[in-house]
């Protein structure tokens, strides 16, 4: 689904957010992305969803070299990628159904989108998506009357309406309590599996990445330093990775290494 070769991103202040990243994601894979703050995770997501062009290197998505696309062809490629953000990016005063139906905006004309604000179109797709995330009874409520966890599920339902080939979830559970966070991660995995979608989730909670994902990618200072099964990462290596995170705030402070974990972490050069 994705092939990145030597992808770098240098911002105008000469900050190298990504440095020569080589990465391959197959269609249907379920992958977790971790790394300390400032590692380049959000920049990588913006490159992967084509809202940010790399400064160097090539990005191929589904066989299409994205850095050469503009206009309509680029918009069409973006429609194949659904992104879920920590901030939800919902319109608080609109009803749940309108926020969910916003998943159609990449395919609708401006006129059709405006008409749907007055009289919701294709309401059945919103009902189906909300039923999948367990919120069908909330369809007519105002979005700002929902809890944080419910709003995150509305954002997931919006992505389901979009029906992308890829789901990119950038810190989708960072603002949720541990129980809700785990339920959202399980929901994303279940939806991706049933929908045969590629899933890449950026997580601050390292234990969720270790427990639920068969493949782990680690970024540090814009470089890809590990790509492989979580079982090959030792607790000591993870603690070294997050060495600048103070005390109890460390994402690995409460991670317990399973007995199958290797004694050392083979970081990439």
Q: What is the pLDDT of residue 148?
A: 87
The mean pLDDT of the chain is 86
pLDDT at 268 over 70: no
Q: Quick check: helix, strand or coil at residue 153?
A: helix
Which of the four pLDDT bands, split at 50, 70 and 90, describes residue 263?
very low
Contact yes or no for 193/30 (Cβ under 8 A)? yes
DSSP state at residue 202: E
**Domain coordinates of the chain in residue numbers?**
84-163
CB atoms within 10 A of CB 249: 8
Give per-residue pLDDT as tens, 33-56: 999 888 999 999 999 999 999 999
* Residue pointed to by tokens 């749907």: 116
pLDDT at 228 over 70: yes
**Range of 2-11, 68-77, 179-188 with top mean pLDDT:** 2-11
User: Alpha-carbon distance 232 to 1, whole Å?
Assistant: 24
Long-range contacts of 146-152 (CB under 8 A, 24+ apart): 146/96, 148/175, 148/176, 148/180, 149/176, 149/180, 149/183, 149/184, 151/88, 151/90, 152/84, 152/88, 152/176, 152/184
């Amino acid at each position: 689904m994705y092939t990145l070769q030597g992808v770098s991103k240098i911002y105008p202040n000469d900050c190298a957010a990504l440095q020569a990243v080589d990465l391959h994601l197959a269609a249907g894979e379920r992958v977790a992305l971790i790394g300390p703050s400032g590692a380049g995770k959000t920049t990588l997501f913006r490159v992967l969803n084509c809202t940010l062009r790399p400064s160097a290197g090539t990005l191929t998505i589904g066989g299409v070299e994205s850095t050469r696309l503009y206009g309509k062809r680029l918009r069409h490629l973006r429609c194949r990628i659904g992104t879920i953000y920590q901030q939800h990016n919902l319109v608080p005063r609109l009803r749940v159904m309108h926020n969910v139906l916003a998943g159609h905006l990449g395919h609708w004309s401006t006129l059709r989108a405006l008409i749907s604000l007055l009289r919701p179109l294709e309401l059945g797709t919103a009902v189906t998506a909300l039923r999948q995330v367990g919120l069908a009874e909330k369809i007519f409520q105002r979005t700002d009357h929902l809890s944080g966890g419910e709003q995150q599920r509305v954002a997931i339902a919006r992505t389901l309406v979009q029906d992308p080939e890829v789901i990119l979830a950038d810190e989708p559970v960072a603002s949720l309590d541990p129980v809700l966070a785990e339920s959202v991660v399980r929901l994303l995995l279940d939806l991706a599996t049933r929908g045969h979608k590629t899933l890449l989730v950026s997580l601050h909670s390292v234990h969720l990445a270790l427990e639920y994902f068969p493949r782990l990618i680690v970024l540090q200072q814009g470089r890809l330093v590990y790509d492989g099964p979580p079982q090959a990462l030792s607790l000591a290596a993870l603690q070294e990775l997050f060495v600048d995170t103070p005390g109890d705030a460390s994402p690995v402070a409460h991670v317990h290494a399973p007995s199958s974990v290797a004694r050392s972490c083979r970081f990439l050069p």
